[in-house]
Amino acid sequence: MLYVTIQELEAAINYWRSQSPAEGEELRLCPEASALAKPYALMIVQGAQRMPMDVLDDLAQTAIHQFKKIS
């Protein structure tokens, strides 16, 4: 089973935020960063260091895979 670490999620969120900064008065995240932020927050609350890739939704999986290709 493949896993993503909390450090990878944080780096990917930062990457996507640099590619597409938050918008509007509410500082809305781009879709990729938003999709990764949800599992990242869950990992923080649970104190987890890694999460199985297959529990991420399709957009989050795509975002992390694209980030890993460039890093």
Q: How many CB atoms lie within 10 A of CB 70?
A: 8
Q: pLDDT digit string (tens) for 10-61?
A: 999 999 999 998 888 888 999 999 999 999 999 999 999 999 999 999 999 9
Residue 30 near residue 19 (C-beta atoms within 8 A): yes
CA geometry: angle at 34 spanning 19 and 11, to 5°?
55
DSSP strand pairing (3-5 vs 50-52): antiparallel
Residue 1 has pLDDT above 80, yes or no: no
Question: Cα–Cα distance between 10 and 26 in angstroms, integer?
Answer: 21
